[in-house]
Each structure stands twice: as structure tokens, then as C-alpha cells.
Amino acid sequence: MKLYYTPGASSLAPRIIAFEAGLEIEYDKVDLKTQTTALGRDYNRINPKGYVPALAVQSGEVLAEVPVILEYLADQAPSAQLLPTLGSWERYRVKEWLDFTSAELHKGFEPLWEAPTPPEARQLAVSRLQRRFAYLDQRLRGRPYLAGHQFTAADAYCFTILSWARFHRIDLSDYSRVLEFMQRVCSRQMVKRALEAEGLPVAAWSIGPESDTTLGSIGCPSL
Ligand SMILES: N[C@@H](CCC(=O)N[C@@H](CS)C(=O)NCC(=O)O)C(=O)O
């Protein structure tokens, strides 16, 4: 298998899950602007959608869309328990978190990455995200991870997207459980390894947005 990624982008979530699952996969870095990969491939021919992540599997097929890639990777190593058993109620709950992260958080950040977005639209996007953060904060009461005590693929995804708040200088200090969640996920050995593998400063993820905001290169690259 090969994961096509861009450092700090949503492709970090599948890398975390691959590491947590102990999967030996290859990685190829994508330059989103030129649509070429570090290994010299034309990325548009790999994933005509033009965005990361994409996962090339053994058969030569390519999977796109973060929630599905995460599900596929987690299912390659069921003993790692990164997703509940297929058909169980708990599985649907984790999938609800995956979809929430995709549609509400990941896409919620999108206007902030686009330079021409006017200030009023940016403010609207931030207000909308803040309502989602408040919901998350409430749901994290008394539970270390989104689905309870077990770390799942949804936590890797949510953590990755939430890390962009700092880049956009969105203050998370009103959401103490969200910040604790970030710390908790970041303290996992495989998460640290994943950040290091992408050349990302671990400290930037483990502390809140009130800290050093000069790390302009972290987070999702420009869309
Ligand atoms: N729906 C896609 C969204 C992926 C996405 O937004 N990727 C961003 C990086 S975080 C990207 O590559 N953007 C470049 C583009 O849209 O051209 C998924 O779930 O994989």
C-alpha cells in the first residue's frame, strides 16, 4: 500500500492510523500546487480529484476520502481496535464521528484556507466552527476519546483537523476538554512518530493555540 500525503494535511490522520495499526506502508509526498509527487509521479493520474489523501492498495486500486481510507486501514489490523466490529452499534457511533469531522470540521475550515474569502465569510466560518467546538467539548465530558475509552480512527481524524485551529489563530481556550483531548492524542507514541515522520513540530500540536503561533508551515497547505 502507498499513502499519498502532504505534511500536516488531512492525510496525517491515515498515517496516524497506519502507525497505530502497525501497518508497513509506503508514503509519497504530494506537491498540491504542481500536482507532482516526490517520487516524480503525476498526482492527477493517481487521484483525479487532485487532493490528498489517496491510498493505493495492493490490487492497484486507489481509494480517496479520509473516512473511507481510515476505515480501510483500521480493518487491515482488527486487533489494534481502531474501529469497533463491523455491524456493531459502536461502529456506527464511530462512523458518526468520522462524518461529523469530515463534513462539519474538515470542510468547516475550508473557507479559511482560501485566500480570496472575504473577512465576513471568514468570521461566519469561524463562528460555525466555534459552535462545533462547543459541541465537541460537551461530548468529551468524562471521556478521554470521542467514542469513550478506546482511541479510534475518529480521534486521529478529529485531532488532525483541530490542529489547524492554531494555524488560523482560533482560540480554543474556552474548550478545555478539547484542549485536553488534543494533549491526550498528541501524547500517544504513534501520533508523535507520525508528526515527526511528516517533519511537523510535536510541541506545536501538544499545546494550545495561545502558544507560539509563528509556525506558519503547520496545518493544511493552501487549497
Ligand atoms: N473530501 C476529501 C477532502 C480532502 C482535502 O480537503 N484535502 C486537502 C488537504 S487537507 C487538499 O488536498 N486540498 C487541495 C485541493 O482541494 O485541491 C477527503 O475526505 O479526503
Write the residue with the smallest CA distance to atom 19 of ligand 1.
Answer: 65
Q: Is 105 in the pocket of ligand 1 (CB under 6 A)?
A: no
| Residue 212 exposed, middle or buried by CB count within 10 Å (0-12, 13-18, 19+) | exposed
CA of 36 to the centre of ligand 1 (A): 15
Q: Is 10 in the pocket of ligand 1 (CB under 6 A)?
A: yes
Q: Is the pTM of this model over 0.85?
A: yes
CA 139-140-142 angle, 5° bins: 110
Write the residue with the smallest CA distance to atom 12 of ligand 1.
Answer: 51
3-state secondary structure of 5: strand
Write down all domains in the chain, each with its CATH number in brackets: 2-80 (3.40.30.10), 89-205 (1.20.1050.10)
Write the residue with the smallest CA distance to atom 11 of ligand 1.
Answer: 51
pLDDT tens for the chain, 223 residues: list them: 999 999 999 999 999 999 999 999 999 999 999 999 999 999 999 999 999 999 999 999 999 999 999 999 999 999 999 999 999 999 999 999 999 999 999 999 999 998 888 999 999 999 999 999 999 999 999 999 999 999 999 999 999 999 999 889 999 999 999 999 999 999 999 999 999 999 998 766 654 444 443 333 344 443 3
Q: Is 43 in the pocket of ligand 1 (CB under 6 A)?
A: no
Look at strands 26-31 and 2-5 and give their pairing: parallel
